[in-house]
């Protein structure tokens, strides 16, 4: 989870499996395609950024709207790129030795 402030209160963002599925449905792309788009931020649209933040809000605010996500991004005042990176890293951590099934 990534701690942020939203409307003056502490709020946690999470790129969970459920959030990833919602994002894939929303943009009609696989998570790999989405992550590839986020690698080249020069071509990234604010709509895509706001969609990512909306689904990351769902764990704490299941009724999060696109407008909520836009307000959250506005409140971040440019820090949204660092928070996106942190969220992706938290969702896809490096495997811990011993956590992988035996071959």
pLDDT in tens, 25-39: 988 989 888 888 777
CA distance 48 to 18: 17
Q: What is the pLDDT of residue 79?
A: 72
pLDDT for 37 equals 79
Q: Which of 52-56, 71-75, 87-91 has the lowest mean pLDDT?
A: 87-91
* Averaged pLDDT, 16-31: 91
Helices 31-39, 80-91: axis angle to 10 degrees equals 140
Nearest to 19 by CA among 5, 6, 34, 4: 34
Residue 11 CA: distances (Å) to CA of 30, 57, 60, 90, 94: 27, 8, 7, 16, 25
User: How far is the C-alpha of 32 from the C-alpha of 41, rounded, in Å?
Assistant: 15
Residues 6+ apart with CB under 8 A from 3: 10, 11, 12, 13
Global pTM? Answer: 0.79
């Amino acid at each position: 989870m990534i701690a942020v402030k939203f409307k003056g209160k502490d709020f946690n963002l999470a790129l969970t499996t459920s959030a990833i599925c919602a994002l894939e449905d929303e943009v009609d792309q696989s998570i790999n395609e989405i992550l590839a788009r986020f690698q080249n931020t020069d071509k990234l649209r604010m709509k895509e950024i706001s969609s990512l933040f909306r689904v990351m809000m769902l764990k704490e605010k299941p009724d999060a709207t696109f407008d909520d996500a836009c307000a959250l991004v506005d409140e971040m005042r440019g820090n949204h790129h660092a928070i996106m990176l942190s969220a992706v890293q938290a969702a896809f951590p490096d495997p811990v030795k011993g956590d992988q099934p035996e071959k």
